[in-house]
Structure 1
Amino acid sequence: MMKQVLASTVLAALASTTSLTPAWADDAGGWAFDGVPAWSNPQTGDSFTFRGRIYLDAADIDFEQAGVTTSFDDSEIRTARLGVTGRFHNVNYVAEFDLIDEAIVADDVYLTFHGEGFDVLLGHMKTPNSLEEQTSSRYITFMERGAATDLFGLDRRVGVAVAHHGDAYTVKAGIYGGRPGDLSDSLELDDSSALAARVTYLPVHTDALLVHLGASLRQMDYGNAGTRVAVRPDAHLTDRIVTADFRPASALGEADSSTLLGLEAALVSGPFHAHAEYMTMEVDGPASSPRFDSAFVNLGYFITGETRSYSTSSGTFSRTRPARPVSEGGYGALELAARYDYSDLNEVAAGELTTWTLGMNWYVEDHFRVMANYVTGEASVPGAAATDVSGPQIRVQWDF
């Protein structure tokens, strides 16, 4: 049944690329349709809109070690998300859930209260760390975010945050409790908690050039569960290839807490964009208090002339719209990209991972794109032969 529903969704996405004109709309408010049903009241500012996304992925990645090859040739519904967003009595709301493997997983589910010069966010949301993590997966350059976001477990938690922004800066900080599991089983949170904050600044912001700088911090308490520091080679349909276990009874010792520091920089100049981040995390609990490092650099270029969009209110990248979508007789937007990614876990002899990713993105319409990535790299663990990684992957993505 789930496959039939998802297949119907994909067909609807494909149909939307050939006819994107609103079926009906009312500028005076009320119900409207622009791809999905929406309702608004201009007098009160209240609104309601359905939202969602679906990503279909396929990959053929090989791990080769000492002449033995392990292949990861598979496909998956990476994301199947449905929800609502809108505004009621000057309070913004969003509630979005992932429906994968017959589980119900909360994604963004929070309220935003607007004060004089600041906002208060309450609910289930991401901790404010990393430009790559804060940018929606709908707008990232590659199929997978930079490895640091996975390695250090950047995630969503239940908490409260305060945010403020100006024309050239953003500030956001919050206190967070645990994470829920499958909501169809239980609403109970785990016993971990976190404090996190992020600041961004635009030293240059003109029509010709944008320069972004940022930093973030996270202090994590793992409760009684410890943690595992592990990463895949920028391909979700493979195993985690470099890993260090700090859960209870592990040989490395149990992690009580950790401190994460992240630095970020980005540049957008016409069709060219660049983005780099460095993160370091120290784990407390094990006798050695090991520290791990990870960094990546992305470069991208729109050969059809578009510019990567940026939101000054959140300090993140936003939706890039093709200048001539296919529905208007154009070819959409075409982007070429490359990434270097490095992670180092050598302080506990867990090794290091280096990957290169080449990417091509075809933005067929505002809400529909096709992504193709080729990943190549090497994992090196002391005492073992190096593992070479290589292979292509592709995604069909639709959101509304």
Structure 2
Amino acid sequence: MMKHVLASTVLAALASTTSLTSARADDANGWEFDGVPSWSQAGSGDSFTFRGRIYLDAANIEFDRAGVTTAYDDSEIRTARLGVTGQFSGIGYVAEFDLINDQIAANDVYLTFRGDGFDLLLGHMKTPNSLEEQTSSRYITFMERGAGTDLFALDRRVGVALAHRGDNYTVKAGLYGGRPGDLSESLELDDSSAFAARVTYLPVHSDDLLVHLGASLRQMDYGDAGTRVRVRPNTHLTDRIVSADFRPASALGEAGSSTFIGLEAAAVSGPFHAHGEYMTMALDGPASSPRFTSAFVNLGYFLTGETRSYSTSGGTFSRTRPASPVSEGGMGAVELAARFDYSDMNDVAAGELTSWTLGVNWYVEDHFRVMANYVTGELAVPGAANTDVSGPQIRVQWDF
């Protein structure tokens, strides 16, 4: 609880400070106050900028199974993150940490060494899988990513990666070790490891239309710990609706490794955008060698005429800025969106999870957004009563 309060206090203080100083010009030492304090030196290229985000969530979700209703009516500080980014002696750096849930958790903490046509990344970072996962949570369309990113535990790990990009493509691959726990207690990593790679290609990239295609792979070794395949129904303030245990001594058998394959496609045309992905993962170790699949399709439309922004350098979506922010007398940007999401876990008799999410996003300013989602869905398990899911969620999001 104390860390929740601390994170909120620090971020609120930063907000008030930056709002008072945003109009100040650069001083002689290279300092700039444009929303947040930053510093740069033109001669050397050295720089640093404070960065962070805070998401305040609330939800009222119900699980209904065989006439028994479980209600999740709660709120949370979903994310309270602080960090810095910049460059020193030609080496890029990012260091971000979450300060909630009574622990200190590392997020992006890595160095970037820029070479001739390639970048070498070293540190704690996401494995290169899925357009939905690679796009920052600041820029995703819904409060929660597609279920497959949760089901297959696409995450950050300590490792090394090579990245290359052209005018209309990106390639990234890396070798990764384990994940750290609470940094206030230990720097020890678990003994899992992975190889992961992703390629993206833009067959069409014009003023009127952008088409994105991509594919990714992850080969995971779980060490001696095994894994769990589990998922929430596009919510966070609820329990997981499915959990299949493949850890040591599990009745389903221990998972030694897995192979994940993901396909992705997206299009942006004026105020309209579409995005879909298909993911599958096979476990090696359990006698049945189960395979799981998940897929989703998003559709979105900006009523106020904005276009969803895309980063060609990363093959990801990026920040959409309102054409008329509220601070300039406008109404901001308003987006309507819908998603269909499906996951098949029948290989271990865990059923099929189908869900719909309807969303309204209000981009008040470049760095401030309000999101409202309504989730409805069903878990159908062979031989058992279905579990129906429904309810609204809301988020107030600010980042710098």
User: TM-score scaled by structure 2?
Assistant: 0.97
Aligned residue for 1:256?
256
Which shows bigger deviation, 169-178 or 345-354? 345-354
Question: What are the equivalent positions in structure 2 for 1:22-41 lying under 5 Å apart?
Answer: 22-26=22-26, 30-41=30-41
1:101, CA displacement in angstroms? Answer: 2.2
Residue 282 of structure 1: aligned partner: 282
Task: Tell me the residue number matched to 2:97.
Answer: 97
Alignment partner, residue 302 of structure 1: 302
Measured in 2, the distance between the counterparts of 1:338 and 1:27 equals 46
Q: What SS class does the counterpart of residue 197 from structure 1 fall into?
A: strand
1:369 partnered with 2:369? yes
3-state DSSP of counterpart to 1:237 = coil
Aligned to 1:207: 207
Q: How far apart are the structure 2 equivalents of 1:183 and 1:10?
A: 20
Is residue 101 of structure 2 the alignment partner of residue 76 of structure 1? no
Task: Tell me if structure 2 keeps the 8 A contact 1:13–1:368.
Answer: no
Distance 2:59 2:308 in 1: 26
Q: Which residue of 2 aligns with 1:88?
A: 88
1:264–1:163 distance in 2 versus 1, CA, 3 Å: same
How many Å separate the matches in 2 of 1:16 and 1:62?
40
Q: Quote the Cα distance in structure 2 between the aligned partners of 1:314 and 1:3.
A: 32
1:116 and 1:68 map into 2 onto residues whose CA distance is 61
Counterparts of residues 302-381 of structure 1 (less than 5 Å): 302-381=302-381
Shift of residue 102, structure 1, vs aligned partner: 2.4
Deviation at 1:3, TM superposition (A): 4.8
- 1:28·1:42 contact (CA, 8 Å) conserved in 2? no
1:342, distance to aligned residue in structure 2 (A): 0.3
Matched AA of 1:252 = L
> Given the superposition, is the C-alpha separation of residues 317 and 28 from structure 1 closer, same or farther in structure 2, using an over 3 Å criterion?
farther
- 2:84, 2:9 → 1: CA distance? 20
Distance 2:7 2:247 in 1: 37
Structure 2, unpaired ranges of 5+: none
SS of alignment partner, residue 252 of structure 1:
coil
Q: Secondary structure at the match of 2:31?
A: strand
Maintained 8 Å contact 1:20/1:327: no
Q: CA deviation at 1:348?
A: 1.1
3-state secondary structure, aligned to 1:282: strand
Aligned in 2, Cα 1:21/1:366: closer, same or farther, shift over 3 Å? farther
Check 1:4–1:237 CA distance in 2 against 1; reply closer, same or farther (3 A cut): closer
Matched, 1:157 2:157: yes
Letter of the aligned partner of 1:124 in structure 2? H
Q: CA RMSD in A?
A: 1.6
Q: Which amino acid aligns with 2:185?
A: D
Q: Specify the SS of the correspondent of 2:323.
A: coil
| Equivalent position amino acid for 1:233 in 2 | P
- Distance of aligned partners of 1:183 and 1:72 in 2 relative to their CA distance in 1, 3 Å threshold: same
Are residues 165 and 395 of structure 1, via their aligned partners in 2, closer, same or farther at CA, if it must alter by over 3 Å?
Answer: same
What amino acid does structure 2 have at the position aligned with 1:185? E
Distance in 2 between residues matched to 1:385 and 1:14, nearest whole Å: 49
Instruction: Figure out how many residues of one structure are paired with residues of the other and give that number.
Output: 399
In 2, Cα distance between the equivalents of 1:184 and 1:16? 28
Partner letter of residue 271 of structure 1? P
Distance 2:17 2:193 in 1: 42
Q: Would the alpha carbon gap of residues 213 and 64 (structure 1) be closer, same or farther in structure 2, given more than 3 Å must change? A: same
How much does 1:22 deviate? 2.5
Structure 2: which amino acid aligns with 1:129? N
Q: Which amino acid counterpart does residue 74 of structure 1 have in structure 2?
A: D
C-alpha distance in structure 1 between counterparts of 2:114 and 2:242, whole Å: 43
**Which residue identity is paired with 2:228?**
R
What's the secondary structure of 1:149's corresponding residue?
A: helix
TM-score (norm 1): 0.97
Structure 1 residues 27 and 162, CA, compared in 2 at 3 Å: closer, same or farther? farther
Q: 1: CA distance between counterparts of 2:71 and 2:114?
A: 51
Please state whether the residue corresponding to 2:190 is helix, strand or coil: coil
**Structure 2 Cα separation of the partners of residues 131 and 60 of structure 1:** 29
Alpha-carbon contact 2:4-2:102 (below 8 Å) kept: no
> Any idea what the Cα deviations from partners look like across 1:326-382, whole Å, max 9, x if unmatched?
110000000000000000000111111000000000000000000000000000112
Equivalent residues of 2:7, 2:100 under 8 A apart: no
Equivalent position of 2:267 in the other structure: 267
Within 5 A, what are the aligned runs for 1:191-202?
191-202=191-202
Alpha-carbon deviation of 1:9?
5.6
